Structure 1
Amino acid sequence: MLKPDIEKRIINTGVMAIVRTETVERATEIAEGCLEGGVDVLEISYTLSNAGEVIKALNDRFKNKLLVGAGTVLDGETARLAILAGAKFIIAPNLSKEVAVVCNRYRIPYAPGCATVTEMVQALELGASFVKAFPLSNFYGPSLVPVIKTPLPYMPILASGGVTLDNLGDWIRNGVDSVGVGGLLTKGSKADIATNARKITDIIRDARA
Structure 2
Amino acid sequence: MSELLNTSEVFASDPSGLLRGLHRQPVLAVLRVSERQQAQHQLNLLVEAGLRHVELAVALTPAWVELAIELRQSFPSLRLGAASVRCLKGLAAAQSAGLDYVVSPILEPDLLAKAQQAGITLIPGVYTPSEVARAQALGAPAVKLFPASSLGPSYWNSLAGPLSPLPYCIAAGGLSALDARLWLESGVDAVALGGSLFETSQGPQQPLQLRPGLTALLAWLEQRANGDLLSG
TM-score greater than 0.5 by the shorter chain: yes
Counterpart in the other structure of 1:78? 90
Q: 1:139 aligns with which of 146, 150, 153?
A: 150
CA distance in 2, matches of 1:3, 1:20: 25
Q: 1:53 aligns with which of 54, 62, 66?
A: 66
State the secondary structure of the residue aligned to 2:44.
helix
CA distance in 2, matches of 1:152, 1:140: 19
Matches within 5 A, 1:1-209: 3=15, 5-47=17-59, 49=61, 50-63=63-76, 65-135=77-147, 137-150=148-161, 151-187=163-199, 192-193=209-210, 196-205=213-222
Please, what TM-score do these two structures have when normalized by structure 2?
Answer: 0.78
Alpha-carbon shift at residue 139 of structure 1 (Å) = 1.1
Q: Deviations over 1:135-157 (max 9, x none)?
A: 2x121221122112343233211
Please, what TM-score do these two structures have when normalized by structure 1?
Answer: 0.86
The worse-fitting range, judged by mean Cα deviation, of 104-113 and 180-189 is 180-189
Alignment CA distance shift 1:108-1:37 (3 Å): same
CA distance in 2, matches of 1:190, 1:201: 23
Instruction: Give the unaligned 5+ runs of structure 1.
Output: none
Alignment CA distance shift 1:186-1:102 (3 Å): farther
Alpha-carbon shift at residue 159 of structure 1 (Å) = 0.6
Report percent identity of matched pairs.
23
Instruction: Give the unaligned 5+ runs of structure 2.
Output: 1-10, 228-232
State the secondary structure of the residue aligned to 1:175.
coil
Larger Rg: 2
CA RMSD of aligned residues (A): 2.6
- Verify the 8 A CA contact 2:178 2:212 in the aligned structure 1: no
Which structure shows the bigger proportion of residues in helix conformation?
1
